Amino acid sequence: MSRRARLGRRAGREASRLVGPALFTPSLHLAADHVQVGGVYAATLLVRGYPREVATGWLEPLLAYPGRLDVAWHLQPTPAAVGAARLRRQRGRLESGRRLAAAAGRLDDPDVDAAAADAADLAGRLARGEARLFTTGLYLTVHADSPDELAEDVERVTALAHSLLLTVHPARYRMLAGWATTLPLAEDLLGATRTMDTGAVAAGFPFTSADVALPDPLRPGAAPVVYGPNLSSTGIVAHDRWAEANYNSVTLATSGAGKSYLTKIDVLRSLAQGVEAHVIDPEDEYGPLAAAVGGTQLSLGAPGVRLNPLDLPAHGRTDPELLTRRMLFAHTFIATLAGSPAEDPVGRAALDRALLAAYAHAGITGDPATWDRPAPLLADIAAALQAEPAGQQLAGLLAPFVTGSHRGLFDGPTTSTPNGHLVVYSLRALPEELRAAGTLLVLDAIWRQVADPTRRRRRLVVVDEAWLLMAHPAGARFLVRLAKAARKWWAGLALVTQDSGDLLGTDEGRAILANAATKLLLRQDGSAAAAVQAACGLSDGETAALLAARPGDALLVAAGRRALFRAQASPREHELITTDPVDIAHRPAHPATTTTDVAGNAVARPLLPADDADPL
Note whether 335 and 390 are same-domain residues.
yes
Q: Which residues contact 597 (CB under 8 A, 6 or more apart)?
A: 416, 603
Note whether 140 and 231 are same-domain residues.
no
Note whether 455 and 376 are same-domain residues.
no
Residue with the larger pLDDT of the pair 151 and 20? 151
CA 197 – CA 15 distance, rounded (Å): 29
Among the listed ranges 175-184, 357-366, 388-397, 592-601, which one has the minimum average pLDDT value? 592-601
Averaged pLDDT for residues 590-613: 38
Q: Which residues contact 337 (CB under 8 A, 6 or more apart)?
A: 398, 401, 434, 437
pTM of the model: 0.67
Tell me whether residue 56 is in a domain: yes
Note whether 264 and 314 are same-domain residues.
no
Note whether 240 and 379 are same-domain residues.
no
Note whether 168 and 235 are same-domain residues.
no
Note whether 541 and 497 are same-domain residues.
yes
Note whether 368 and 246 are same-domain residues.
no
Note whether 270 and 313 are same-domain residues.
no
The pLDDT of residue 609 is: 32
Tell me whether residue 589 is in a domain: no
| Domain boundaries, position 360 | 308-413
Note whether 364 and 509 are same-domain residues.
no
Averaged pLDDT for residues 438-442: 85
Could you tell me the CATH number of the domain that includes residue 459?
3.40.50.300
Boundary of a domain, candidates 203, 238, 255: 203
- How many separate domains does the chain show? 3
Tell me whether residue 437 is in a domain: yes
Tell me whether residue 21 is in a domain: no
Tell me whether residue 381 is in a domain: yes
Could you tell me the CATH number of the domain that includes residue 367?
1.10.8.730
CA 268 – CA 526 distance, rounded (Å): 31
The pLDDT of residue 251 is: 94
Note whether 452 and 488 are same-domain residues.
yes
- Bridge partner residues of 77 (DSSP): 134
Among the listed ranges 306-310, 467-471, 557-561, 588-592, which one has the minimum average pLDDT value? 588-592
Boundary of a domain, candidates 147, 168, 203: 203
Tell me whether residue 116 is in a domain: no
Note whether 196 and 52 are same-domain residues.
yes
The pLDDT of residue 340 is: 58
Tell me whether residue 193 is in a domain: yes
Could you tell me the CATH number of the domain that includes residue 154?
3.30.70
Residue with the larger pLDDT of the pair 385 and 314? 385
Q: Could you tell me the CA-to-CA distances from 231 to 209, 237, 253, 529, 563 in Å, in that order?
A: 10, 9, 18, 21, 8
Tell me whether residue 549 is in a domain: yes
pLDDT at residue 172 tops 60: yes
CA 401 – CA 404 distance, rounded (Å): 6
